């Protein structure tokens, strides 16, 4: 029954996220590097996914940032940084744990296209922090007001300590507001 519920939830999310008017996308304002330069308030940052260790099994998790006072700054030089405190709650099938951080969600470089923001250096304190840059697609954008992003990252790597193959499949949602 649990598998059936999960499949129904996934189908519902797919159906909801795939609906939309193509004309709205065509007339939407394109994202540009110049438009995001400056300070943005992180109002939402959520991750969900699976971590699979070959031979040992898998673990599903979600993480959500709450009580965010994080300010993300995009510089004209292609660098980004963040400051501020937040709580992050990580939920697995076995545990729920909330931790408070006071050092932002990371810093690194960024690139922008009309439909994507790519960030390297995200370190929000959960299992979703990968070495790969995070590719986020623009879900909603209002110039100088709102930037809602969604992404999916898949990475497979060899654990250097134990020699195990690890695969991560991660969905990310981020909302920035001015």
pLDDT at 157: 87
pLDDT over 70 for what percent of the chain? 79
Q: Does residue 22 lie within any of the structural domains?
A: no
Number of domains into which the chain is organized: 1
Report DSSP state, residue 122: B
* Mean of pLDDT values over 3-13: 33
CA distance 104 to 122: 9
Q: Does residue 9 lie within any of the structural domains?
A: no
pLDDT at 153: 84
Say what the pTM is. Answer: 0.75
Q: Does residue 8 lie within any of the structural domains?
A: no
Range of the domain at 81: 30-177
- Strands 86-91, 107-112: pairing is unpaired
Kindly report the CATH number assigned to the domain that includes residue 61.
Answer: 2.40.160
CA distance 168 to 102: 26
């Amino acid at each position: 029954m649990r598998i059936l519920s999960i499949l129904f939830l996934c189908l519902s999310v797919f159906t909801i996220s795939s609906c939309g008017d193509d004309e709205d996308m065509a007339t939407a304002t394109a994202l540009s590097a110049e438009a995001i330069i400056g300070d943005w308030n992180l109002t939402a940052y959520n991750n969900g996914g699976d971590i699979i260790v070959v031979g040992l099994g898998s673990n599903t998790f979600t993480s959500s940032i709450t009580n965010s006072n994080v300010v993300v700054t995009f510089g004209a030089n292609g660098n980004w940084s963040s400051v501020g405190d937040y709580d992050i709650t990580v939920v697995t099938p076995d545990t729920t744990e909330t931790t408070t951080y006071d050092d932002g969600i990371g810093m690194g470089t960024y690139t922008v296209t009309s439909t994507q923001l790519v960030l390297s250096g995200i370190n929000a304190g959960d299992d979703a922090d990968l070495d790969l840059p995070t590719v986020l697609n623009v879900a909603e954008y209002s110039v100088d007001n709102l930037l809602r992003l969604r992404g999916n990252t898949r990475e497979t790597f060899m654990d250097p300590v134990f020699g195990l193959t690890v695969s991560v499949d991660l969905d990310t949602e981020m909302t920035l507001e001015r």
